[in-house]
Chain A
Amino acid sequence: MELATIEELEAPTMEIPQATQPEIKTIPEKMIAQNLNCFFGKTQAIKNVTLSIPTQKVLAIIGPSGCGKSTFLRSLNRMHEVAGGTMTGTVLLDGLNIYDSDPVVVRRRVGMVFQKANPFPMMSIFDNVAAGLRLNGLGDKNKVNEIVERSLKQAALWDEVKDSLNKSGMSLSGGQQQRLCIARTLAVDPEVVLMDEPASALDPISTAKIEELIYDLKKNYTITIVTHNMQQAARVSDYTAFFYVGELIEVDDTKTMFTAPRKKRTEDYITGRFG
């Protein structure tokens, strides 16, 4: 039902001959959200946002709670509709509209890490990481083993769990669980990783580990992270976007943003005058 609404709302855009398609490779942006409006019922959560997500960089999205930053993130891999939302506008991934293709394929390419660590409770650590592979039809055992090990290493969790891969994922600490979820996301080899306040429920040490991890990951992945913690945004990101009540107020490289914001509202927020 939600899908139908999306299609109805989507404005027909101008016709471009297929021959121009190769040119998309020259676009440095991995993803582009264009004229994006997101709704929950009649409530508009995102108002006409246009934003590019640069390839193999970390983009941080900040803003006071309720500003729509999570909704925006979730519209980038079609999770917004899972929660029953609707939208208009386009989101391009390598130049192709993700709302024009199979959501399953989109989500495989654009992975997501959630605010609360949520390992599959009935599965072991190993099976958690392997779940995405197996359920996407990868049957080759050696390959699965190899990818699980690689993903756990990428998530900086391998050394801690390599002797207890058969234990339940729920037996890990909160920080370890979150890194397990990151490993699980990396295992299906996404191109973009979306992180929705991944460290907000964690202690400072675990948070530091996650931040370190994000820094390492951007060599191979395009990362967008939603955070309510400005210091965190300043530490991990290359670019920062500021959202306020559903609108994109300002986006710039992180240094400029935090030292010389152009908009008054951004400055107020960054200096802690509201929000």
Chain B
Amino acid sequence: MTISLPLHMQRWRKFKNVFMIGLCFLSAIVVIAPLFIIFGYTLSQGIGALNLDFFIHMPKPVGEPGGGMANAIVGTLIMVGLGAVFGLPIGIMAGIYLAEFGKNAFGFTVRFLSDVLSGIPSIVVGVVAYILVVMPMSHFSAFAGGVALAILMIPTITRTTEEMIRLVPHTLRESSLALGIPSWKTTLRIILPTATKGITTGILLALARAAGETAPLLFTALGNRFWSTSLNEPIASLTVFIYDYAKAPFDDWNRQAWAAAFVLIAMVFVVNLAFRFVTRSRYGTSHN
């Protein structure tokens, strides 16, 4: 004897099943769509203004068409570079500490606070850089911008370094130690080189993210329409240029904003793909 549910119940269950699963598929499409829309739109708007002039020329005076963002590109590079000078040693060394000696309460605390740090809104980091650098110097500067970017980079670099070192098989460390190589040399000369690819792309990811930051630069580096490479003066950056040019009532400036946005997006995509590729190919499926 079999017990069967009423037929209309079965149908209702089947319908609900198909309907809800359909909704899930639909939401996947809706979520992915903005990626293509934003990328496509940026490409179509930016490509027209993207030429050699954009990279090698200075901005033209207000209202005049043409010109480029050479100073902003250099400015972004300088500040990201400065951020790296401060951020890399701190992040990498702290990451080594966490991977090698961080299995205690102190390590747990550092890991937690590093997570906290990575969650702090970037505009707040700008406020802190303003208090720490701009106020004592009493003027805006590339240096202040670099400090803000360094603070933003540190948690990412710390985390990547730790994770990539942890991915190196334990047997490698043991065989090095068994050769009478001191632990610190093992870390620096055997473990780190093995993890280099992963750490490098992780660092690139952090640098790309820093290059795309706007909020922390608004009142640290401020911005500059003229050529400057001095750390002691306000400096231009691609992102702040996008912000200014987007708000401006000139079509040509708007187009240049799109071109700069395209440069940023392209850079971010390439670096992310590289990171994905490296973590996948070296360490199998463990990456998520």
Contact = CB atoms under 8 A, between A and B. Distances in A.
* Chain A–chain B contact at Cβ < 8 A: yes
Interface of A: 1, 77, 79, 82-83, 103-109, 111-112, 114, 116, 118, 120-122, 131-132, 135-136, 181, 184-185, 188, 190
A105 B173 CA distance: 16
Nearest to A77: B178
B107 to A, nearest CB: 12
Contacts of B171: 114, 116, 118
A121 B190 CA distance: 9
A128 to B, nearest CB: 10
A121 B180 contact: no
B180 A120 contact: no
B6 to A, nearest CB: 59
Contact of A132 (B180, B183, B194): B180
B174 A114 contact: yes
B119 interface: no
A235 to B, nearest CB: 25
Q: Say whether chain B's binding surface is mostly helix, strand, loop, or mixed.
A: helix
Interface in B230-284: none
A105 B182 CA distance: 9
A188 B180 contact: yes
B279 to A, nearest CB: 16
Contacts, number: 74
Contacts of B185: 135
B189 interface: yes
B194 A121 contact: yes
B36 to A, nearest CB: 39
B175 A181 contact: yes
7 contacts: A77-B178, A79-B174, A104-B181, A107-B178, A109-B180, A118-B175, A131-B181
Given A82-B173, A114-B171, A122 B178 contact: no
Report, nearest first, the 5 A-B pairs whose CB atoms are least far apart: A108-B180, A132-B179, A112-B178, A107-B180, A118-B171
A122 B196 CA distance: 10
Given A109-B180, A131-B179, A135-B176, 7 more contacts: A82-B177, A107-B177, A107-B180, A108-B179, A114-B178, A118-B169, A131-B190
A185 B174 CA distance: 12
B181 A185 contact: no
B175 A114 contact: yes
Contacts of B174: 79, 82-83, 112, 114, 118
Contacts of B172: 118, 120-121
A116 B171 CA distance: 9
Contacts of B169: 118
Q: Determine which residue in B104, B175, B182 has the highest number of CB atoms from chain A within 10 A of its CB, and name it.
A: B175
A177 to B, nearest CB: 11
B193 interface: yes
Nearest to A78: B177
B202 to A, nearest CB: 17
B184 to A, nearest CB: 10
B181 A135 contact: yes
Contact of B177 (A79, A116, A181, A190): A79
